[in-house]
Structure 1
């Protein structure tokens, strides 16, 4: 196992540990997931409703310049919906041709914070918007990462911030001798093909 593979293995173990801790915190905040839906205990729901700030109070306590930026933020819904639409078509048309498994939207786009009783309707709207937009970005990032792993799995010469999970397995910049074998290996990996299987 290479040093990079060992580091990646440790990162994944830490991510799993983090997810376990998040699940444990759910117990502390008295909720559980049932059929994909969040269920709070009755006492927790009452407490949440008591802590909700009415939307007019929320607006009064918000700086006017922040309120004035709302149309700018919400105008981005148009490019986000278009991005969602175009990437949906791209994945549906191209991934079957490349033999790449499709990325499920539900794994990245989560709209669930509007169920929180301590948020007023305006805060819930903001949370739905943020959940959708950030989910689309995460979903598109994974699709783009799989595409890059299929077509051009080469690391950049300079450091890249926030690289997708496939990037660590890319070939080193300038490694011409191993490009063809590395490209085939990366394609098999993103397709989910074992080393012993035939190249698609």
Structure 2
């Protein structure tokens, strides 16, 4: 990586930290905090949430016919999600151990906490659980795939890739044959250590 690319990567990290600070400020404004992994709302906020809850009967009465009819198709995706989740978990449990790659923690990506929001009725809570699980599985699989790519082929594509995983930005440039032969082991060694919080690949030498 060039010096400018390092500077841009550092700026991305700085902006992420700044964004996290703003998120925490917004949490304070919304009246909740995280304590021992649990969300705690101020009592007056909880009362207001319950007041804004829409009952299931009213929710269904307001739903469009197309929404109701398409719901079974949407929820049928739970089957391939579960299969992918189980298959990828088995894959990394076996293959990552063989190659001594740090395994991905599913809990870092799959969160079902939105079901506890009191302003959601049971259908809305179920919808949130479905979306949280589906997107969490995709994010988990993406990280597993990213570590796999870093181990076997840490090379950028010649063409622009839309929204690549974070590890991709540190990969070797397309056509850098000498870098590939000299630094492949370094990329693999980084995967054997504790995985960094931001998922970044080893810095360029």
After TM superposition, the score normalised by the length of structure 1 is 0.92
Matched, 1:71 2:72: yes
- The one-character-per-residue Cα deviations of 1:120-148 (angstroms, maximum 9, x if unpaired) are 10000000110011011111101110110
Aligned to 1:51: 52
Matched, 1:105 2:106: yes
Aligned to 1:27: 28
Shift of residue 91 of structure 1? Answer: 1.1
Aligned to 1:188: 189
Cα distance in 1 for partners of 2:71, 2:19 equals 33
Shift of residue 11 of structure 1? Answer: 0.6
Q: Which secondary structure state, in structure 2, belongs to the residue aligned with residue 5 of structure 1?
A: helix
Matched ranges for 1:7-156 at <5 A: 7-156=8-157
Aligned to 1:165: 166
Number of residues paired by the alignment? 193
Task: Name segments (4+ residues, structure 1) moved above 6 Å.
Answer: none
- The one-character-per-residue Cα deviations of 1:3-58 (angstroms, maximum 9, x if unpaired) are 22221111111111111211111111111111111111111111000001111211
Cα distance in 2 for partners of 1:179, 1:117 equals 53
Shift of residue 115 of structure 1? Answer: 0.8
Q: Which secondary structure state, in structure 1, belongs to the residue aligned with residue 120 of structure 2?
A: coil
Cα distance in 2 for partners of 1:183, 1:72 equals 44
Q: Is 1:108–1:135's contact at 8 Å kept on the other side of the alignment?
A: yes
Q: Is 1:169–1:186's contact at 8 Å kept on the other side of the alignment?
A: no
Give the aligned CA root-mean-square deviation in angstroms.
1.3
Cα distance in 1 for partners of 2:20, 2:85 equals 27
Tell me: CA distance 1:92–1:79, structure 2 relative to 1, closer, same or farther (3 Å). same
Aligned to 1:178: 179
Q: Is 1:113–1:128's contact at 8 Å kept on the other side of the alignment?
A: yes
Shift of residue 188 of structure 1? Answer: 2.2
Q: Is 1:149–1:187's contact at 8 Å kept on the other side of the alignment?
A: yes
Deviates more, 1:173-182 or 1:14-23: 173-182
After TM superposition, the score normalised by the length of structure 2 is 0.90
Q: Is 1:141–1:164's contact at 8 Å kept on the other side of the alignment?
A: yes
